[in-house]
Amino acid sequence: MDLLLAAKAAFLGVIEGLTEFIPVSSTGHLIVASKLIHFEPKIADVFMIVIQMGAILAVVWYFRTRLIARLKGLTSDRANQRFWLNLLIAFVPFAVVGLLFGKQLKLLLFNAPVVAAALCLGGLAILLIERLPKKELHTEADALPPKTAFVIGLCQIIALIPGVSRSGATIMGGLSFGLSRPAATEFSFFLSIPVLTAASLYDLFKHRHEIDGEGYELIVIGFVVSFIVGLAVVHWLLHFVAKHSFVVFGWYRLVAGLALAGAIAAGWVSTKGF
């Protein structure tokens, strides 16, 4: 394997692990980073979807004890049943819209100007939501009312726009509808498991005939690196939100969005689809 190409795959794995769970848009960062480092194997699009599973495995491993306990009580415990039902309720809106309109959205919206605009608007949304008064109605991610889970699922649909951030949409949605910071963050983590697993497996299956030996090697590199980095980020973020707001991510998004807009205006980044 080309060592430079392998290093680029590892670098993108780092970007995925760093950005998947914080509200800054992993997709937007991967799209821009892949262009900047000229990561252009024929499986590039599949690679950037499938390495998300490394970050998801990090969530599964971090919460393994709670997830196993929830699975053991699935047939007998009403609280466990509600937990899995809430994940299903929040997952379905995103899955339906993604299956029906995902291809069209990718053709229309996967371009640098949309990412720049989404980064800026998402940053402003975070800053606004953080300034609004909030009432904590739910402090446990495991015990949300189904209607709250559904609303968070609706918020997640916005993340089909590149640059919005799935974690940002679900965490900010959770805060807006009565979840505490830790509860909103944890529910976003749990919800990422079915959402990103389904998206990764679907894309991998759809493009299975296009992936050769080198392609699988690149995917494995990105997967492993994103798992290691993602595990550290999950641990850090849970401790961070216990004492801090998300304002820093709002300002970061604004700076990143304006920088990307400046690069587009200067002709350094193409306005065509990625």
Q: 205 burial class (0-12, 13-18, 19+ CB within 10 angstroms)?
A: exposed
In a domain, 143, yes or no: yes
Number of domains observed in the structure of the chain:
1
Q: What is the pLDDT of residue 143?
A: 85
Global confidence as pTM: 0.90
Higher-scoring residue by pLDDT: 122, 205: 122
Cα atoms in the 13 Å half-sphere on the side-chain side of 204: 17
In a domain, 271, yes or no: no
Structure tokens at 193: 């498991």
Higher-scoring residue by pLDDT: 29, 76: 29
Count CB-CB contacts under 10 A for residue 198.
15
pLDDT digits (tens, 9 = 90+) for 129-143: 999 988 889 998 888
In a domain, 234, yes or no: yes
In this predicted structure, the answer to whether residue 159 has a pLDDT above a threshold of 80 is yes
Average pLDDT over residues 264-272: 82
Cα dihedral: 142, 146, 152, 153 (round 10): 110
In a domain, 272, yes or no: no
pLDDT digits (tens, 9 = 90+) for 24-72: 999 889 988 998 898 988 888 889 889 999 999 999 999 999 999 888 8
Average pLDDT over residues 222-250: 95
Q: What is the pLDDT of residue 21?
A: 94
Q: What is the DSSP string of the chain?
A: --HHHHHHHHHHHHHHHHHTTTTT-HHHHHHHHHHHTT---TTHHHHHHHTHHHHHHHHHHHTHHHHHHHHHTTTT-HHHHHHHHHHHHHHHHHHHHHHHHHHHHHHHH-BHHHHHHHHHHHHHHHHHHHHS-----B--GGG--HHHHHHHHHHHHGGGSTTS-HHHHHHHHHHHTTB-HHHHHHHHHHHHHHHHHHHHHHHHHHTGGG--HHHHHHHHHHHHHHHHHHHHHHHHHHHHHTT--SHHHHHHHHHHHHHHHHHHHTTSS-SSB-
Structure tokens at 235: 């641990």
- Domain limits at 63? 3-265
In a domain, 162, yes or no: yes
In this predicted structure, the answer to whether residue 259 has a pLDDT above a threshold of 90 is yes
Q: What is the pLDDT of residue 269?
A: 79
Q: What is the pLDDT of residue 274?
A: 56
In a domain, 273, yes or no: no
Higher-scoring residue by pLDDT: 157, 106: 157
Cα atoms in the 13 Å half-sphere on the side-chain side of 169: 25
Sequence letter at residue 93? P
In a domain, 54, yes or no: yes
Share of the chain above pLDDT 70, in %: 99
Q: What is the pLDDT of residue 273?
A: 61
Average pLDDT over residues 192-210: 88
In a domain, 132, yes or no: yes
Cα dihedral: 259, 123, 56, 84 (round 10): -160
Q: What is the pLDDT of residue 26?
A: 92
pLDDT band (50, 70, 90) for residue 153: very high
Average pLDDT over residues 267-272: 78
Q: Quote the crossing angle between the two packed helices 181-206 and 146-157, to the nearest 10°.
A: 50
